[in-house]
Structure 1
């Protein structure tokens, strides 16, 4: 596995690193779900790298237990994932992502421009990268808890794209309405809705995976990064 070590200020953190075929390109900070830096995340990193990006996916659970790598296939793994979610400290996660952003910008393979993309827990953290860092652009997939963070929207100064699942079991209609009420009028934010889809509709192999809608969302993400990171 190709990894780099990032100094966070609180200790060293590993990150999965995927390089483009050319060996050089813009950067992407890939933000994990609640299952750690697992095969799904590594596959995503490799896919973005194949499109020309230098991708770093940090091990955000390192303070709890380094190297978490589980799936969504068993009840025991789901229980472990939710335990990790409860133990995870969001402020620490943002700090680690800020360190990852700096490390990626300084990496010899990176052009200097860096975007971020996150899924589920990572979708929430992606939003916080947009409000709390100087990342060049951000994409969030079905982020949880954004309705409680809308007061930070005034700090979004770079392009942010959100993919929202209309039937998301973790983001009820009232929460989605609040997100739209505040962010629809923000000129840096674009929201794409998927009314018939549940949470994690873009997770390959997941229970709610919808290949057609995932293809649409991923195409929009690809175009977004090409526009803002080139």
Structure 2
């Protein structure tokens, strides 16, 4: 089982917690799991444990710590979904990317200077794309990232392998937004897009009502193969 561990901010003026899971043996690479709007909840921690079993050191930084540390919400509880949606206007995404940079630094040190991949979901999917544009991570995966169509003017800065999983019936990402993502990224040799026909937002969650087992297994297999190739 993993545990929460403090990470220094880039400025060195504060610390925030990250859930860290480690494999039984030595690891040569790390994976950062980027939370949804529900915080570093049990589902995100389970993803870290899964990566640790696969041989990686896994970090899940608490990106909402400036709002309130250790927020954990359940998307299947309507009141908690409302709470999560209310957090979004309070969250500074640019600062969140800096916290991801700090986590990359910590994770890279934990694996002796090895490679670091990032994988995010929902808000984390958006942040994974932003991180591909703005950080020195080594590989990036975003699941059902929201608002990526509004970030396409940054995609020229992507220099490392990036993968996006796009459910076509995502009620947070319109068909027009999906079309813009495909059109805007099809010429970028670093980016791979996968569509999941008829599926909705959250299909790859570890637990709860949103999960679609077959699609989650397919997408997660693609992600595992992607990291195995690019973090070696």
How far has the Cα of 1:38 moved from its partner? 0.5
Indicate the residue corresponding to 2:209 in structure 1.
207
Flag the 1:38–1:110 CA change in 2: closer, same or farther, 3 A: farther
Indicate the residue corresponding to 2:7 in structure 1.
6
1:180 paired with 2:194, answer: no
Runs of 4+ residues deviating >4 angstroms: none
Match of 1:118, SS state, is: strand
Mark the runs of 5 or more structure 2 residues left unpaired by the alignment: none
How far has the Cα of 1:61 moved from its partner? 0.3
Normalization by structure 2: what TM-score? Answer: 0.96
Contact kept? 2:97, 2:127, Cα under 8 Å: yes
How far has the Cα of 1:110 moved from its partner? 4.8
Counterpart CA distance in 2 for 1:166 and 1:207 is 18
Counterpart CA distance in 2 for 1:120 and 1:35 is 10
1:224 paired with 2:209, answer: no
Counterpart CA distance in 2 for 1:47 and 1:138 is 17
Match of 1:203, SS state, is: coil
Contact kept? 1:200, 1:206, Cα under 8 Å: no
Normalization by structure 1: what TM-score? Answer: 0.96
Aligned residue-pair number: 229
Indicate the residue corresponding to 1:27 in structure 2.
30
Equivalent of residue 57 in structure 2, options 43, 54, 68:
54
Match of 1:149, SS state, is: helix
For residues 8-29 of structure 1, what are the alpha-carbon distances to aligned partners after superposition, in whole Å with 9 as ceiling and x for unaligned?
Answer: 1252110000001213231111
Match of 1:198, SS state, is: coil
Contact kept? 2:46, 2:206, Cα under 8 Å: no
Indicate the residue corresponding to 2:173 in structure 1.
171
Indicate the residue corresponding to 2:108 in structure 1.
105
Flag the 1:155–1:229 CA change in 2: closer, same or farther, 3 A: same
Counterpart CA distance in 1 for 2:210 and 2:40 is 20
Contact kept? 2:47, 2:206, Cα under 8 Å: no
Note the aligned Cα RMSD (angstroms).
1.1
Mark the runs of 5 or more structure 1 residues left unpaired by the alignment: none
For residues 7-60 of structure 1, what are the alpha-carbon distances to aligned partners after superposition, in whole Å with 9 as ceiling and x for unaligned?
Answer: 112521100000012132311111000110000000000001100000110000
Contact kept? 1:167, 1:195, Cα under 8 Å: yes
Q: How does 1:59-208 map to 2 (within 5 A)?
A: 59-107=62-110, 109-110=111-112, 112-208=114-210
Counterpart CA distance in 2 for 1:23 and 1:86 is 40
